[in-house]
Amino acid sequence: MNQPAADSTSDLSVFERVERIINRIRPAVQSDGGDLELVEVTDDGVVKVRLHGACVGCPSSSMTLHMGIERNVREKVPEIVAVEQVP
């Protein structure tokens, strides 16, 4: 019997799928001295992330959150409706 490929997402939860995307984005954020943490994915499709390091208080963090993180997550996980920053 054929086993699913190691990168198959069909058996992953929404949280796990979002986590994979966050982990792909993380190196770019870290290269600027920041970091991000996936805190929660709510039942109504809202991803909650916490920014760390240089991202905290950065004037560009809002743009990074919405144009980078949210755009990527929503593109690859259609169940997600928004990405929000939590303290």
pTM: 0.80
Any domain includes 45: yes
Segments forming the whole domain that contains residue 28: 14-85
- Percentage of the chain beyond pLDDT 70 is 89
Look at residue 4 and tell me if it is in a domain. no
Q: Is residue 71 part of a domain?
A: yes
Q: How many domains does one find in the chain?
A: 1
9 located within any domain: no
Asked if the structure places residue 6 within a domain, the reply is: no
Q: Residue 10: its pLDDT value, please?
A: 63
Q: What is the pLDDT of residue 49?
A: 93
Query: Tens of pLDDT along 35-72?
Result: 999 999 999 999 999 988 888 877 777 877 888 889 99
Greater model confidence, 6 or 17 = 17
The pLDDT assigned to 46 comes to 96
Checking phi first, is residue 53 left (phi over 0); if not, alpha (psi -120 to 50) or beta? left
The CATH number given to whatever domain includes residue 33 is 3.30.300.130
Instruction: Note whether residue 8 is domain-resident.
Output: no
